[in-house]
Amino acid sequence: MVNLEDETKLLYLDQNMWIYLARIYYKVDTNSVRSRILNKIIELVESNKLIVPINLSNVQETLKRRDSGSRERLAEFMIKISKGYTFIPYVFLLDIEIRNLFKCKINFPETDIRKYAIGKGISFLLGGVPRMKTDKIDSTLLEKINKEARKHFDSPEFLLQCMLEPENNIWTSEFTGEIDEMQQNIEKSRKEALKVKDRTRRYKFQVARHWIDSINHRIVKISSELNIPWNTIIPPSPSADQIVEIFHELPISYTNFCLYNGRNRQIHRPIEINDFLDIGSLSFAIPHCDFVVAERFFISIAQNAHLDELYNTVLLSNLEDLEVYLDEIIEKNE
């Protein structure tokens, strides 16, 4: 968790945007607009007015680079600009969102997810790090050991090391079976949904399916943990419209649904492996970052779902369009 100042802005860059800027930084490409953008990003990062976190998708894409020199240069650039800041994978934030919704209904202070999810190092990138547990040594010493280990794991140097070793890539042959199964399950769900010809009914079917698969059991579990009736936040047998209203109050969950639903509607676009990590990263970035610069495909889906309006986020698919917003931050802080 990081103590974000209110005026500190968060900028999300997908892998291609990082590569474009790295090519400017290493003078592989010459582009006056991108050069100005890079200089302004560095200026704002150094003055603590901007944080550009990297995420699990960035790390995995970097690890896929076969040329060790290219991989090292890109990783070093990303660590320099991000200062080692990362954010927690969205799956670890879903329960917190739901707890916040319960807390809101009973006027109890909520967790600031934006501040909770952003921090430095592997512990945020992966949602935690191992802790030593033993009764063989003094508890005070054990806590000191764990604290020092956490400091090591969360250092920019350790994060860089992890980005340089290809064996850390989760998209390896070891996981090919699991990946194929995920793709097949999604294709199966997509075909089932497309059997419903009426678009309105199909949308309601997909809302209900996502709710049952991803949300409902979490609400029941957290309701029990907090000892607050589940119908505090949802009516009995909610309609699709009522579910969507609740979804709006669960920004990460709703963004995740919109991106998956929008992707699955593109029947001629195959399910790409990278989609899993991209959607996972964007599920946090769109509702909680100030600026998101990413692939046109997902930006269009998000804009069509009005997520930019709903969460007051600037969504861009062209890196060059970012400059005017960087200028606004600079002018505001002069």
The DSSP line for 200-234 is HHHHHHHHHHHIIIIIHHHHHHHHHHHT--GGGTS
- Let me know if residue 205 belongs to a domain: yes
- Let me know if residue 101 belongs to a domain: yes
What pTM was estimated for this model as a whole?
A: 0.86
Residue 129 pLDDT exceeds 90: no
Domain range for 288: 9-332
Which whole-number Å values give the CA distances from 22 to 34, 204, 248, in the listed order? 10, 43, 36
- Of the two residues 104 and 317, the one the predictor is more confident about is 317
Report the percentage of the chain scoring pLDDT > 90.
Answer: 42
- Let me know if residue 1 belongs to a domain: no
- Mean pLDDT over each residue of the chain, to the nearest integer: 84
Structural domain count of the chain: 1
- Let me know if residue 77 belongs to a domain: yes
- Let me know if residue 3 belongs to a domain: no
Give per-residue pLDDT as tens, 255-283. Answer: 999 998 888 888 777 777 788 889 999 99
Q: With DSSP H G I counted as helix, E B as strand and the rest as coil, what are the percentages for the chain, rounded to 5?
A: 65, 5, 30
- Let me know if residue 4 belongs to a domain: no
- The pLDDT value recorded for residue 173 is 45
- Let me know if residue 2 belongs to a domain: no
- Let me know if residue 108 belongs to a domain: yes
- The pLDDT value recorded for residue 244 is 82
**Distance between CA atoms of residues 223 and 99, nearest Å:** 8
**Distance between CA atoms of residues 292 and 313, nearest Å:** 7
